[in-house]
A and B are shown apart, each in its own frame.
Chain A
Amino acid sequence: MSDLLSKRRAAAAAGVLVLLALPFYADGFWLQSGLFAMAAVLGAIGLGLLTGTAGQLSLGHSFFLAVGAYGYVWLSGGSGGSGSGRLGGLGLPPVLAFVLAVALAGGAGGLFSPIAGRLRGMYLGVATIALVFLGQHVMVNSRSVTGGFNGRAVEPMALFGFSFSDSSPRGLAVLGVPFGGVERLWYFGLALVAIGLYTARNLHRGRQGRALAALRDSGTAAAVMGVPVARYRCAAFVVSCLYAGAAGALTALVFKRVVPDHFGLALSIDYLAMIVIGGLGSVGGAAAAAVLVSLLPQVLTVYADRLPLIAPAGTDGFGATPGEAARYLYGAAIVLILTLAPGGLAGLVRRGRPPAAPTAAPAAPIPVPVSRTATHPSHGKEPTP
């Protein structure tokens, strides 16, 4: 058992080293894809908490990502332009803008949660769809905040004067490798993901995770155990939206431009696919699946000519474009996993592991619950027959 544990620890450590070293070897395309995957991991953790643990079906995740993204853009952006191109912004320091954007997304979740609380299961699913469409409508029409349909540019992240972009300092090189915006942002992203995974794991294992899991299985049972149901349902939304906000803000930093079109129903469905494939209720599974789902189209694009049924994007030839192929695979994965392996990736990993060594295999049919001699120190009486 401890042997297995140390093997897993070694593997994890090796993985972390690879991630830290990646900017020295990988090119910009893969780094950017990787950053996008990191944002997906954050978003997936949040949705997993809501859907997998608290059991609330939400297709509105992309809305809260948008709040995080546009929140960051507006809070950090400067105002300028004129006429219909006029853009507003608070021009706050990027780090502050980031934190506030995350809080804003959480706040939006808090505002929506009373509605969510009143709706049961399926109704909530459709209400969240409404949120996405209404959100996009507002985004397209609030040109001064969002830049409308064409979006607006994003202020790069900066920490104490060190900018996570190609300038200030310009021409930075580490160990001979040029460190531009995307290389620097890589570490920022890794830090965010580390915080996200750490906090999610703690919540999952702590009293909140248990309370939310109980909520998923039976609201009444949870209430009777002392969990304030309405408050926790609301909290689940807020926490999941905090992660979504971080994911959205990171997405904005990675793409350097935000457009409303990105935050549509398709993105919400992508996230749903991630947590289904990863296994509802598992943080590690959601993270792994997020990486897979977000990197798949990129992989297919790069290797399009070498893969049989994939046609490069934009052509009309036989075969699916990378985007289409990815969607086929996600859809099929959702169906197959729910049909054959409902536990998702996490479930498969659990099955593959050797069973936990039984501490004392109960050979007798049912052990006598209480020995006839005293068990409780302060009450040593014999039970009366």
Chain B
Amino acid sequence: MTAPAARLAVRNVTVRFAGLTALDDVSFTVEPGTVHALIGPNGAGKSTCFNVLSGVYRAASGSVEYGGRELTGMAPHAITGLGIARTFQNIVLTAGTVAENLMLGRHRLTRAGFAATALGLPSAVREQRRHRARAAEIADFLGLGPYFDRPVGPLPYGVRKRVEIARALCTEPGLLLLDEPVAGMNPTERLAMADTVAAIREALGISILLVEHDMGMVMRLADAVTVLDFGRRIADGTPEAVQQDPAVVRAYLGQEEPA
């Protein structure tokens, strides 16, 4: 059911807001099945980039191609239909149980219309049951099994972050956009999340594009890194190469690398 991971090609994308150029002629490529990190100081344009990729923002110019399809100008729900899923920096979960949130992720894969659902037709009921089973599988995979029928609200932050990722996985994407998955976590939680991300890549074979500040995570996980600063790409390559790049060091001058 998982969409095959395809290549994501971002080419010369520029985004402007009322005079401010948030992204300036940015290009990079995410190879299928790899973990690609997007790093850079605050305000470099990383979240803007994500928003362009998920269709929330329009690019002023440039193109984004995924699996041969041009993304720019597509509505967000259509982009999800292509197999791209994302998480948000500020967790946006709906009130309800973990199961209900995960089932939201199954929306694009289910077909039951208003009438079928309202009337409780057997086809709708069966479909719901099938997809719930799959959601439970994904929940187990991310260690959310015990929380499946619990309300999301009172759960600890780290768990809610994982629910958000699980929900994105429920859309069976080929490309997963993770927006700062370890923000606000302590070292133990970070390690656990790093293992999770690696496991997702290994088990599901999907591409992961990751915005991250934690250099340790980046070095450990990423196959390739793209560095942004002030909306421009200043470096691109393997983690080791990028780490040595003088332009990158300059951009980060004064920024501590977490252990």
Contact = CB atoms under 8 A, between A and B. Distances in A.
A308 interface: no
Given A225-B171, A379-B202, 19 more contacts: A199-B120, A202-B124, A207-B106, A210-B96, A210-B104, A223-B75, A224-B54, A224-B85, A225-B107, A225-B167, A227-B77, A229-B76, A239-B114, A366-B188, A368-B143, A369-B142, A369-B143, A383-B195, A384-B202
Contacts of A383: 195, 198-199, 202
B77 A206 contact: no
Contacts of A368: 143, 192, 195
Interface stretch (B36-44, B87-95, B210-218, B233-241): B87-95
A226 interface: yes
Interface of B: 54-56, 75-77, 80-81, 85-86, 88, 92-96, 100, 103-108, 110, 112, 114, 117-120, 124, 128, 140-143, 145-147, 149-150, 156, 158-159, 162, 167, 171, 188-189, 192-193, 195-196, 198-199, 202-205
A206 B117 contact: yes
Given A370-B143, A376-B203, A208 B117 contact: yes
Which 7 pairs show the lowest CB-CB distances between chains A and B?
A: A226-B108, A223-B76, A206-B117, A226-B80, A221-B92, A370-B199, A199-B118
Given A210-B103, A369-B199, A376-B141, A360 B128 contact: no
20 contacts: A199-B120, A203-B117, A210-B96, A210-B103, A210-B104, A213-B100, A217-B94, A220-B92, A223-B55, A224-B80, A225-B80, A225-B107, A226-B77, A226-B107, A228-B75, A228-B77, A356-B150, A366-B188, A369-B199, A383-B195
A358 B150 CA distance: 8
Interface string A264-281: 000000000000000001
B199 A206 contact: no
B142 A207 contact: no
Contact of A210 (B100, B145, B146): B100
Contacts of A235: 114
A369 B107 contact: no
Contacts of B167: 225
B195 A211 contact: no
A207 B100 CA distance: 9
B interface secondary structure, majority: helix
A330 B189 CA distance: 48
Contact of A224 (B56, B145, B199): B56
Contacts of A358: 146, 150
A367 interface: yes
B173 to A, nearest CB: 10
Given A224-B80, A369-B196, A210 B107 contact: yes
B203 A213 contact: no
A229 to B, nearest CB: 7
Interface in A352-383: 356, 358-362, 365-370, 375-376, 379, 381-383
Interface of A: 198-200, 202-203, 206-208, 210-211, 213-214, 216-218, 220-229, 235, 239, 281, 356, 358-362, 365-370, 375-376, 379, 381-384
Output the residue of B114, B140, B196 with the most chain A CB within 10 A.
B114
A199 B107 contact: no
B243 to A, nearest CB: 18
Nearest to B150: A356
A379 B205 contact: yes
B92 to A, nearest CB: 4
A225 B105 contact: yes
A367 B118 contact: no
Contacts of A228: 75, 77
A353 to B, nearest CB: 12
A220 B76 contact: yes
Contact of B114 (A208, A225, A226, A362): A208
A381 B205 CA distance: 11
A109 B124 CA distance: 25
Nearest to B198: A383
B35 to A, nearest CB: 11
